[in-house]
Copies of this chain bind each other. A is one copy, B any other.
């Protein structure tokens, strides 16, 4: 019996694929082991059980997200950068629904590694907002609002919560425009 030659990275990408294709509920040690051609206890050599797997997937997802957003914002500033980040966010969720859901469902906010990964995502947005010269507290409120919009829209869309057949991209664009208008208004008052 040859050795499977598993790697934490291999395990993780297999887990991500299961989550994205079959749904996050289907991501179990049993299905993962089967996909990797191994018995489930063997996974404990690479991951601290199911909670450990989920934790790694959360961090993996946050990093992927940060990368996608940062890439989209390269060479852009202000409104253009905000729109680019928003689009990148939504596109990521559409392409990786399972990973995104895991990110929202299983994060252990007491884990410093999770805090770090989450902070780095927020950092990308903060950097983009700096161009507007907002007061510190104001910037934080805006970041919170931006995140709320993005997460809210993406997750409602993801679970089919928008019933009516009216263009979703248009709704999303209007929502981002609303945020931008709000930023502009604040900026003028200083």
Contact = CB atoms under 8 A, between A and B. Distances in A.
A188 interface: no
Contacts of A148: 148-149, 152-153, 156, 175
A19 interface: no
A109 interface: yes
A83 interface: no
Interface string A111-144: 0000100110010000000000000010011101
B144 A171 contact: yes
A52 interface: no
A185 B181 contact: yes
A50 B132 CA distance: 50
Given A140-B164, A145-B178, A175-B144, A155 B151 contact: yes
B163 A145 contact: no
Copies of this chain, complex-wide, total 2
Interface in A40-71: none
Contacts of A151: 151-152, 155-156
Given A156-B148, A175-B145, A119 B163 contact: yes
B104 A155 contact: yes
Contacts of A153: 144-145, 148, 152
Contacts of A170: 141
Interface of A: 104-105, 107, 109, 115, 118-119, 122, 137, 140-142, 144-145, 147-153, 155-156, 159-164, 166, 168, 170-171, 174-175, 177-179, 181-182, 185
9 contacts: A119-B163, A144-B153, A144-B162, A144-B175, A145-B178, A148-B175, A149-B152, A151-B155, A182-B182
